[in-house]
Chain A
């Protein structure tokens, strides 16, 4: 809808007045965005083409794409990418399944429905770093809650966080525990918007529950599922604080996700040129996925 007011301003002054309004309303945002977002992003691109040390008296040297090429040759970069992809492929589908199941369960009114729904969402909003901390505590072999399970089963406690595979598993469990509520609430909201008659008419026709779900609910829910998975994917690509607190990327490099590897390169090894080039590659991955998903989502919305 066109807003006619903009162009036929009653106070007189026409276009210039309109421009003036826009400067007032948008000016602060544009200045802000440029100063703390656009400029730093361009600056980091500039840095990524240099051999640039964080603490050094030697001036940065322009080296073109060398940092990018080095990253592609760096086994630890590929290791981080592999960890990231494995993590995403395991965690997100599980979060989706759990979120969907619980969302379906909550579609029927029952006593305590609302308060339970609220309580279930808590992990998603409370500090990710606290979540990492709690899991690290629970996984302590001697006095942790999970370590205690071994004791109850009369087994020697296993230190999860010193075993690469178990640590990776623990990070995945932590992430599922923390973020499944996002899937839950997104799908719950989408399901709540469905007209009731739809389900009822299907039930009168004699379709059983699983058929109703597969043939009617799931297709209608697909757009919401796609959006929820996309948003989780973007978030999972930049996972940092909970893992950093829980494992610091270890043992070895078992949980060195991309953001952690980049962080270590920048602020432990002070190699910020190299770190920035990897940061850009991570961003390009995120943007490619975003463009692809956004174009799909908007196309579906238009048609």
Chain B
């Protein structure tokens, strides 16, 4: 190994350790016993690893309820966004109509809006509709981001599918919806899968709307649920670290699974606007 190469490995490895250290640290903390958590000076490794924190989290806190809510909200957000966005993307990528350019511009611009601006009027509307403190409020709120984003992302993928395929199928007597179902969706499935997972992660991670719209334990999602373990006087780090690991793990697994598509979609979108 050349000297310069050695330094390179060394640097990359050091950087990787620095980047992953917080995750490793909260994992180690999550398997410490309660007494060892607050010792001074700090003990790096647990003398007897235990899953007591995880057990306490599941048995004594509403964590499983939070998790159920998070899953419901994410799945419905993804379903709605995909249904609406696939139809719209097909239209954007295939038809010419009046107002197409301004409309696609609206899609792009709405993604620049800060969530806090929308949170207030959505709160008022949901209060009037009496759907505050229900998963439904979060599904709608998350859709404000998910629908335009998914449309924008899938349109990019559909544009790369040759139109000759649609035309051939239509000559064979396929309707437009048939073309979409039998030709476009199968061909665009990598893009659709990437969008699905991206929206799932977005919804799973979302904090501001969840904080604003759900004050009831029954309706809370994980990010806000975890936040409530930080009380005024006491912060339950044993519960927080265990909860953090359980919450972060699905994201990491999903991300590993689809990172190639995701990065492709992300960078492609970023470069071509």
Residues of A within 8 A of B (CB): 1-3, 5-6, 10-11, 18, 21-22, 24-26, 28-29, 32-33, 36-37, 39-41, 43-44, 47, 54, 102, 105, 110, 116, 118-123, 125-131, 133-138, 142-143, 145, 147-148, 151, 177, 185-186, 189-190, 223-224, 227-228, 231, 234, 237-238, 240-241, 244-245, 258-259, 262-263, 266-267, 272, 275-276, 279-280, 282-283, 286-287, 290, 294, 297-298, 301
Asked if A47 and B40 sit within 8 Å, CB to CB, the answer is no
Tell me which of B113, B270, B273 contacts A228 (CB under 8 A): B270
* Minimal beta-carbon separation of A85 from chain B (angstroms): 15
Asked if B167 and A151 sit within 8 Å, CB to CB, the answer is no
Tell me which of B87, B96, B205 contacts A128 (CB under 8 A): B205
Q: 16 A-B contacts, Cβ less than 8 Å apart?
A: A3-B95, A5-B170, A21-B95, A29-B151, A32-B147, A54-B123, A116-B12, A120-B16, A126-B251, A127-B205, A134-B25, A138-B22, A186-B266, A234-B112, A262-B116, A282-B114
Asked if B271 and A5 sit within 8 Å, CB to CB, the answer is no
Asked if B116 and A240 sit within 8 Å, CB to CB, the answer is yes
Q: How large is the interface on B (under 10, 10 to 19, 20 to 34, 35 or more residues)?
A: 35 or more
Q: Which of B49-57, B60-68, B187-195, B236-244 contacts A (4 or more CB under 8 A)?
A: B236-244
Contact with A along B112-137 (1 / 0, CB 8 A): 11111111111111000000000000
Set of chain B residues within 8 Å of A119, measured between Cβ atoms = 16, 19-20
Asked if B116 and A26 sit within 8 Å, CB to CB, the answer is no
Tell me which of A177, A259, A294 contacts B114 (CB under 8 A): A259
Asked if B270 and A134 sit within 8 Å, CB to CB, the answer is no
Set of chain B residues within 8 Å of A142, measured between Cβ atoms = 38, 40
* Minimal beta-carbon separation of B122 from chain A (angstroms): 5
Contact with A along B166-199 (1 / 0, CB 8 A): 1100110001110000000000000000000000
Asked if A130 and B244 sit within 8 Å, CB to CB, the answer is yes
Asked if B42 and A36 sit within 8 Å, CB to CB, the answer is no
Asked if A129 and B223 sit within 8 Å, CB to CB, the answer is yes
Residues of B within 8 A of A (CB): 5, 8-9, 11-12, 15-16, 19-23, 25-26, 29, 37-42, 80, 83-85, 87-88, 90-91, 94-97, 106, 108-110, 112-125, 140-141, 143-144, 147-148, 151, 163, 166-167, 170-171, 175-177, 201, 204-205, 207-208, 211-212, 223, 226-227, 230, 237, 240-241, 244, 247-248, 251-252, 255-256, 259, 263, 266-267, 270-271, 273
Q: What is the bound-complex CA distance between A280 and B25, given in angstroms?
A: 40
Asked if A189 and B12 sit within 8 Å, CB to CB, the answer is no
Please give me the residue from chain B that is nearest to A231 by CB atom.
B270
Q: What is the bound-complex CA distance between A54 and B118, given in angstroms?
A: 15
Asked if B201 and A240 sit within 8 Å, CB to CB, the answer is no
Closest 3 interchain pairs by CB? A241-B207, A189-B267, A238-B114
Asked if B116 and A279 sit within 8 Å, CB to CB, the answer is yes
Q: A186-B267, A275-B120, A301-B273 are in contact. Are A133 and B240 (CB under 8 A)?
A: yes
Q: A33-B106, A40-B121 are in contact. Are A133 and B226 (CB under 8 A)?
A: yes
Asked if A44 and B266 sit within 8 Å, CB to CB, the answer is no
Q: What is the bound-complex CA distance between A203 and B180, given in angstroms?
A: 50
Set of chain B residues within 8 Å of A266, measured between Cβ atoms = 116, 119-120, 123
Q: What is the bound-complex CA distance between A137 and B236, given in angstroms?
A: 10
Asked if B121 and A143 sit within 8 Å, CB to CB, the answer is no
Q: What is the bound-complex CA distance between A29 and B201, given in angstroms?
A: 22
Q: What is the bound-complex CA distance between A240 and B83, given in angstroms?
A: 30
Asked if A227 and B273 sit within 8 Å, CB to CB, the answer is yes
